[in-house]
Structure 1
Amino acid sequence: MRLPGLSATLAAFPALALAAPRDDYTQYVSLFRGTTNGGNMFPGVTPEPFSVIKIGPDVQASPPTDAYSGYLPPPGRVLGFSMMHESGTGGAPKYGVVSQMPVTGDVTYPAADLSQARKLNDTATVGYYQSTLENGVAVSLSGTAHAGMLQHDFTEVASDVAKNVVVDIGHFLSSYRGRGWGQGFAGGNLTVRADGGYQGSGIYNGGWNIAPNWTIHFCGTWDQPVTRSKLFKGNETTHSAASNGTASTISTASGNAGAVFTFDATTVTSRIGVSFVSPEKACRYVDDEIPPGTALDNVVAQSRKKWNDKVLSKIRVESNSRDDLVQLYSNLYGMHLIPSNRTGEQPFTSTEPYYDDIFTYWDLFRCSTALMHIISPVAYVEQLRSLVEIWRKEGWMPDARSSNWSGEIQGGTNADNVLADAYVKGVQGVNWEDAYMAMRKDAETTPPNNRDPRAPDSSTTVGRGALPDWLKFGYITPKFSRAVSRGIEYAANDFGLAQVAKGLHCKADYKRYLKRSRNWRNYWSSKQTSLNYTGFLSPRLTNGSLKYPYDPLACGGCYWTDPYYEVTPWEYTFAAGHHDMAHVLSLSGGKDAFVAKLEQMFVPGATKQNSQFNGTIINPGNEPSFTTPYLFNYAGRQDLSVKYSRYIARTYYNSGIGGIPGNSDAGAMQTWQLWNMMGLYPMTGQNVFLIGSPWFSSMSLDLEGGKSLTIKSAGGDLTKGVFYVQSLKVNGKKWKQSWATWDDLFANGGTMEFKLGPKAVNWATGKLPPSPAS
């Protein structure tokens, strides 16, 4: 049965959306949001939050380009429908393994190009995806945590034309960037069982984290009889003996291999399990999660219920704007696609939770993990415990991880920041003594150099590769790549250690790491000027001198081998010292000078670096600029934090397919906008939330233990720019600070009551946000 398809943008079908139950928040999730404009979002089926299965199409464009999540918009050609993907990643594609491809007519050479153009635009809703191919076959997808369901509808295919499904174990997502980060196939095997089903294993390597060989096991079943099947290796085929009541197996060390299954039925349904452990466990996943006779629409309904119950119902708002609702719930969905919960499939013996596909804490530590704590607290604690257990078993915590392999380290060891943020907010269920030992390993032990061609000077898999300079000089010299940006992050990492050391009564360590957390100051060049402003972070040489002059509007390639990673010195000057903001203001010449310089970040045409953002110095599509719009709070100008953060949120985000400003980075962009909608922003590693201005007249967040935070506002009008805070009450009390703590808002729940107006007023006359390292 072919399920009715829904449009890529749900707003195009308001009647269908209105017909959904009132508490079905999936109606507001646009699966294709962020699939263009470099967002790299995965629009296929993610059956539940953090699911292992992410089933969707793998598409190739002409000329070839990297399809990071497998998907590319038309007119690309579909190569197959595979079981595993990631969402919002960069570098190079990962996974796209365990695939099926419906093919009509005689399949003489299975290793030939079997790709198909799409006859119609793909359609998707939560738990369901459909592609209609040029050969007339419609493929509908759904799934569960460890098993996928594919329904191949051959109704439109002529009765005298053969109906086949090709299974190719050599299928994976390719990379065309030429950087050596692509994936490879290192061999595998496939057995066609006597019952017509199949199982086997594939060995793959590479991807964005340059992983060595990893193995995926699979198990597939057919709900309709197989009329004939044949195995293939390269272009050689042989008839399977499965029809004679015996199994048949093929193995390969390279190249394509798999099987062609032919059917008389016009609708062919397949159920496939995947496992990192064994084919037998993959078969158990199929039997347990999608037993024989399960209807596709029941699997879809189960998926939608899980997303509603576990994530989407956690935030409820009052709004007449469907566009804003689509952004809100699409953001909630998008931040829960990865990491993948692989508990029970660890590469080591363990009874602890295990999460893989972390992309990456460099992207996530600023505001994503803090929101995960609030929306999905159980999974959040499991992820923290997984970090510590990986350290126990492998010696290091990951900053990024995929296919059971840690890497890549872009800056510091930002799992330290994530753990510190949880600790200062009183998170229970983590062995904090062990967690601190894992953090201390990062801070004191230089990891072995893996000789990554991107940056061969030091480790890019685990740890702080530039630690020798950090310990010797208190800064990182340019003999190490990303010297300045890594130094900024090492300082923040050390502040995280100081926070945990203080709580665990490790007084000597607390003093040591608090002192080290101030080392970002060693990059400050008081002579450096740009755009008539003075004082920027500059590289520092072995002899202690600053590399001056140095253009703060330029960062070379802004990549692995440069002093500044991803963004310019201007941006890093405001990304440094967030735990030391009083000193930042002092170096900047005081509040007024700081505010003037910070406003320059938002002036159009100030640089050629960010043309996609009207030439502003700030880059809303890159994480080092995430906190920047909120830093006005530290200078007593909360109104400017509202002005500029709201400008970014309403200018560069929307509900369309290009609705996030660049790569999602595993939901990082989505969480930034969610915080903006709430009217709050977290300062990672501190028990502090900076106050902005909420979008909705009423927002309720479900917290642990039946508690809630209710955020109300009166007098606001998003369409007319009426959003400046006039006054605020927190838990019924008049509030004069532009910040609040975890205890104020989230520990026991609470209320925030905003009055908004069209003009800025100086309502926040109380204490400035704390600056614990100053």
Structure 2
Amino acid sequence: MNAILLVPLLVARCIAVSDYSQYVNVFTGTENGGNDFPGVARPFGMVKLGPDLLKTGADSYSGYLKDGNFSGFSMMHEQGTGGAPKYGTVSQLPLVGTISNPSSSITVGRARPDSGSLGYYNALTSDNVVVELAATSRAGMYQYTFPASSTINNVLIDVSHVLPSFRGQGLGQGYAGGDFNIMPDGHYEASGIYNNGWNRSPNWTIYSCGYFNATPSAAYAYSSAASSQKSKSASSKSSSVAIGGLYTFPGAVVSSRVGISWISKEKACQNVNSEIPSKTTFSSAVQNTKDAWNSQVLSKITTTATNTASLKLLYTSLYFMNLLPTNQTGENPGWKSSEPYYSDIFTLWDLFRCSTALLHVVQPVVYEEHIRSMIDIWRHDGYLPDARSSNYNGRTQGGSNADNVLADAYVKGVRGEINWDDGYAAMVKDAEVAPSNSNPDSMAPDSSTKEGRGALPDWLAHGFITPKFSRAASRAVEYAYNDFSLYQVANGLKKNDAATKYLNRSRNWRNHWNPELSSLGYKGFIVPRNLTSFIATDPLTDSGYWGDPYYEASSWDYSFGDLHDMATIVKRMGGKETFFKRLDTTFAVGGNPKKPNGVIFDSTNEPTFNVPYLYNYINRPDRSVFQSRGVAKSKYNTSPTGLPGNSDAGAMQTWLLWNMIGLYPVTGQTTFLIHSPWFASMAIDLGNGKNLKITSTGGDGNGDTNYYVQSLKVNGKNWTKCWLTWDDVFARGGTMEFVLGSEAKQWATGDLPPSPASEPGA
């Protein structure tokens, strides 16, 4: 009897352990500028279904705000971005009572804070309508429960709906027309034309197809042109004419299935009927999405840890890093191709340092497809994307950082179906041909921000960038890194002359190095310059934006940026001892008297991601552990304000995940810097039966104390280097066995991490 009863207990326990979705908090990082998307989506899905809140003066980048009024619940959003909103298209909004003017940009209040979990979203409007959401990759499901007292229950479909921008930067989205048609069986088909947004895209069209599970008492298409009211269809080629549909139902519970497509209305209908057939229950749609996340993403990293707060950080971070890019394979309106197609790259400037390297580890199939897609974009659009949404490249914030991503894949042996001759040709295009500036960016009109390297003319002519071009100093740091990426691929393809050329060009950051500029007693910084002299800046205050010499970080930060030439940087900063002190000053409380928090280090933007780990380049990984752990534990949590800055498509989350793992990737090289893992045991599924198992003894099992490495074995062998390579533990799998303790120990006595652009003796 007891043995028989034990079986269901064991089954229940296995189910509970395998449901990693229980640790995902979809509201983490939704406030305080994190801009995380809290709605429902599948991994890399086209549909990201969630609420759109309207509050004058507040941009809702992913649709969500903690306050404001609902303007709709729409199918398309980005994840964690700043700059300006994008999408917020294909919208429905439930309303109660008689609607006399459906085209009047109706909004409705929020009755209580929204709730939700992975795969499920719940909101209550001020009309006391419960809104529940579920999603598949290319379709979504709405379920509305109207108040029992209401007899006129409406669902408004607004084709003109977009996420607005109030920032006044010329990046607001536009609606350019569309059509809405109620078909004989009662389902609707629509299309909308939109433009602009953060990437400044021209007109693009999205198609939708929606079904309801109930028979309406009334349904009509509307237009703000009065003569078209209450017909079965409405269309407009004018941005001034809003169109859509209004369905009215007598019953209290109404569900709706909606598909989207970049190709056609017919394809949108195919998507919804194949992914959410008419008999699909709402609960099964939610469960199927949880299952997809558990099997495809969350189970890729497992641990024996039991600390709930850390498990929530781990799996919430894994969730948010796998929402973008969007897999649009088969949904490319631009060209026909047998290659995979990914869009919504937001942006490689944010992602190349940490995110793409982790995507390679936990999603190798998606990663290879993403690389192939970027090369195919070059084939048809002319340039690799640094950013892309609505099937259009833009905006490039610094260098052509797709070059870094391709180089990272190449040196780590990613081959598969990638055509590396084409990949290299695409990189050469970035390095040698400046993009045209046919549509100048009002925030940086000097050169194209659409793609490529806008400041390339100066880089080619002088080996540096003058203030003729905005972001000259930070672009120089990135162009040098990009050229090193060219060197890596050229060298691998045995293009020896090109390899020599690009290796030399990768050292041109040095032409921006002013050895006499001093700050807090430290000399030598990356500075803007003209043809004959350096231009003075203040490294404590010179961080800027699109029109400034440095973009979203200071000269203090960017001076650490070119990791391919770190031995030279250490030498130019005064050698190992001074470099150590300079890094410590970067993190010292009170180190920057010109900042409110008194700290130079800025955790809110990606150019500083590498800085806590640079102690490894002088064989002091203990200090890398101390500084990076301090950032991770103080700046990240699972609350709505739990990110230090914009998530930027999961960039912040991948930085945290690498901190938990105990490694830091050096993009464009096979190098990983070693610091210290959080957990006593972690296993990473590398695919094809390969695993990386990381264990530690002597720690507290949560990374809070006793985190200093005392010794390390890699694949069973004593390890004295503070770095390892892809081949050591990732290519075939491997083991890392840490012994941790409370006191810093000089365990790393081996060779320093590679600095391949530095001349011997640097």
Specify which of 115, 124, 130 is matched with residue 122 of structure 2.
Answer: 130
> Which residue identity does 1:439 align to in structure 2?
M
- Residue in structure 2 matching 1:149, options 138, 141, 157: 141
1:383-394 alignment to 2 at 5 Å?
A: 383-394=370-381
Unaligned runs of 5+ in 2: 1-11
Letter paired with 1:158: S
Match of residue 420 from structure 1: 407
Matched, 1:25 2:27: no
**What is the root-mean-square deviation in Å for CA atoms of aligned residues?**
1.5
The answer for the alignment partner of 1:337 in structure 2 is 323
Q: 2:728 aligns with which of 744, 753, 760?
A: 744
Match of 2:624 in 1: 641
Distance between the aligned counterparts of 2:593 and 2:49, measured in 1? 40
The aligned counterpart of 1:6 is none
Aligned equivalents of 2:13 and 2:311: distance in 1? 13
1-side partners of 2:33 and 2:460: how far apart? 38
Q: Percent of counterpart pairs with the same letter?
A: 53
1:728, CA displacement in angstroms?
0.4
User: How many Å apart are 1:349 and its aligned residue?
Assistant: 1.4
8 Å CA contact 2:177–2:235 kept in 1: the answer is no
Match of 2:149 in 1: 158
Picking from 61, 81, 84, the partner of 1:68 is 61
Contact 2:120–2:286 under 8 Å retained in 1: yes
Structure 1 residue 655: deviation in Å? 1.6
TM-score (norm 1): 0.94
Paired position in structure 1 for 2:432: 444
The amino acid that maps onto 1:469 is D
Q: Report the Cα distance in structure 2 between the residues aligned to 1:237 and 1:198, rounded to whole angstroms.
A: 20
Q: Is the 8 A contact 2:194 2:203 kept in 1?
A: yes
Kept in 1, the 8 Å contact 2:350–2:648? The answer is yes
Tell me the equivalent position of 1:213: 203
Q: 2:633: which partner in 1?
A: 650
Partner in structure 2 of residue 459 of structure 1: 448
What is the distance in 2 between the residues matched to 1:562 and 1:214?
Answer: 31
Corresponding residue number in structure 2 for 1:506: 495
- Alpha-carbon distance in structure 2 between the residues aligned to 1:273 and 1:228: 22
Give 2:46's aligned residue. 52
- Are 2:588 and 1:603 equivalent residues in the alignment? yes
SS at match of 1:117: coil
How far apart in 2 are the matches of 1:764 and 1:375?
A: 28
Equivalent in the alignment of 1:306 = 292
Q: Is the 8 A contact 2:222 2:234 kept in 1?
A: no
Measure the CA separation in 2 of the matches of 1:68 and 1:189: 26
How far apart are the structure 1 equivalents of 2:598 and 2:23?
Answer: 33
Residue 628 of structure 1 pairs with residue 608 of structure 2: no
4+ residue segments displaced more than 4 Å: 17-20, 237-241
How many residue pairs get aligned? The number is 742
Distance in 1 between residues matched to 2:715 and 2:13, nearest whole Å: 35
Q: Is the contact between residue 231 and residue 250 of structure 1 (CA under 8 Å) also seen in structure 2?
A: no
Q: Which residue of 1 aligns with 2:3?
A: none
User: 1:542 Cα shift?
Assistant: 1.2
Deviations 1:329-357 (A, max 9, x none): 00000001111111111111111100011
- The alpha carbon displacement at 1:104 in A equals 0.7
Give the structure 1 partner of residue 194 of structure 2: 204
1:230 is paired with a residue of what secondary structure?
A: strand
CA 1:187 to 1:286, structure 2 compared with 1: closer, same or farther past 3 Å? same
1:82 partnered with 2:74 = yes
Task: Quote the offset at 1:451 in angstroms.
Answer: 1.1
Secondary structure of the 1:220 match is strand
Residues in 2 aligned to 1:492 and 1:18: alpha-carbon distance in whole angstroms: 49
Q: Which residue of 1 aligns with 2:84?
A: 92
Following superposition, the deviation at residue 722 of structure 1 comes to: 1.3
Distance 1:451 1:239 in 2: 40
CA offset digits 1:389-420 (Å, max 9, x no partner): 00001111110000011001111000000000
5+ unaligned residues in a row in structure 1: which ranges? 1-16, 242-246
Please state how far the C-alpha of 1:64 moved relative to its aligned partner: 3.2
Q: Distance in 2 between matches of 1:236 and 1:258?
A: 13
Report if the CA contact (8 A) 2:179-2:233 is conserved.
no
Distance verdict in 2 for CA 1:720–1:707, change over 3 Å? closer
SS of 1:574's equivalent?
coil
Query: Are 1:455 and 1:560, in contact at CA under 8 Å, matched by a contact in 2?
Result: yes
TM-superposed CA distance for 1:535, in Å, is: 1.0
The secondary structure found in structure 1 opposite 2:198 is coil
Q: Does 1:570 align with 2:556?
A: yes
Q: 2:238 aligns with which of 212, 231, 253?
A: 253
Cα deviation digits, residues 486-534 of structure 1 (max 9, x gap): 0110000000010000110000000000000011111111111000111
Instruction: Give the counterpart letter for 1:379 in structure 2.
Output: V
Please, what TM-score do these two structures have when normalized by structure 2?
0.96
**Aligned: 1:233 with 2:223:** yes
SS in 1 for 2:531: coil
For 1:421, the aligned partner's letter is: D
Cα drift, residue 610 of structure 1:
5.1
Deviation at 1:231, TM superposition (A): 2.1
CA distance in 2, matches of 1:319, 1:326: 11
Amino acid at match of 2:752: L
Q: CA deviation at 1:608?
A: 5.8
Letter in 1 for 2:631: I
Matched to 1:771, the amino acid is S
Aligned to 2:282: 296
Q: 1:113 to 1:472 in 2, by over 3 A?
A: closer
Paired residue for 2:212?
Answer: 222
Deviation of the 1:72 alpha carbon: 0.5
Note closer, same or farther for the CA distance 1:504–1:651 as it changes in structure 2 (3 Å cut).
Answer: same
CA distance in 2: counterparts of 1:559 and 1:720, whole angstroms: 35
Contact 2:57 2:167 in 1 (8 A): no
| Residues in 2 aligned to 1:126 and 1:553: alpha-carbon distance in whole angstroms | 41
Question: Do residues 286 (structure 1) and 272 (structure 2) align?
Answer: yes
**2:90 aligned with 1:107:** no
Alpha-carbon contact 1:103-1:114 (below 8 Å) kept: no
The 1:752–1:719 alpha-carbon spacing in structure 2 relative to 1, beyond 3 Å, is closer
Amino acid at match of 1:260: L
